[in-house]
Amino acid sequence: MILGWLRRLFDTTPPEFDAAWRPILVAGFQHWSLLDQAELDRMEMLVARFMATTDWEAANKFKLTEPIKVLIAAQASMLLLGLDLDGYDDVTSVIVHPANVRLRGNRPSGGGTFSSSPTVIAGQAHYKGPVLLSWAAARRGAKFPEHGQNVVYHEFAHRLDMLDGITDGTPPLEDAAALARWTEVCTAAYDEVRAQGSPVLRPYAGTNPAEFFAVATEVFFNQPHQLCEHEPALYAELRSFYRQDPAARVARPDRSQQQHQGQ
């Protein structure tokens, strides 16, 4: 197998977006239909590049089809839509499991901490290594964003966090002023989640700052109005970083829908 980084090094031909992928994305990825034409044009470029440069691995004899790859590629690319990045160049491969994975043994758990307790995961991002994903979770997150969770957004948010070499919940920012503002806002929101919980961020966000950023990214894209209502300063920071405004794309849910989601 030719590694993705070798393809990127020697192949200068721009990858092409296959028109057959459009109905797959319209049917399986709810956020795709919210994009305007300029956003779709960039997304098609990003998806084509991800498909062309990513090394894919199927775990546990899973049948890894092209539609599955396209749906994962589109979700990973959504995070790059407004950024000055065209791909995740240091991702060595994407390993797709059919469902969640049980981990055993001593392992890093993020934020400089380690764990030896058995745990079930839907995804895992390794620094300058592979990204592991559960297809069941990835499919569910793409189809039902109103649930607030998306394993692909979560794990690739970790990859953005890792770009500066430190997994600390702070991705590379424009300047010192942006860093100071980000630190102030995110630290306050993180401390609040740990102290008393949040109506919009699930408790896992309080695990460590890295998980806080990944969970906040999921909610930013999936439940933007709720995040804007309950954590307006955090929403503003994520909007500034991602250079996207999901709340402007998504219709505001009515009260009955919000109450149903909160049950």
Domains for the chain: give ranges and CATH numbers: 15-262 (3.40.390.10)
The tens digit of pLDDT for each residue in 109-160 reads: 555 566 666 788 888 999 999 999 999 999 999 999 999 999 999 999 999 9
Q: What is the pLDDT of residue 107?
A: 55
- Contact between residue 56 and residue 69 where contact means Cβ atoms under 8 Å apart: yes
In the chain, which residues have pLDDT < 70?
1-12, 104-117, 252-263
Q: What is the pLDDT of residue 95?
A: 96
Measured CA to CA, the distance from residue 94 to residue 151 in angstroms comes to 13
CB atoms within 10 A of CB 148: 19
Q: What is the pLDDT of residue 2?
A: 45
CB atoms within 10 A of CB 82: 16
Q: What is the pLDDT of residue 155?
A: 98
Measured CA to CA, the distance from residue 230 to residue 223 in angstroms comes to 11
Residue 87 — φ and ψ, nearest 5°? 175, 175
Q: What is the pLDDT of residue 119?
A: 82
pTM: 0.87
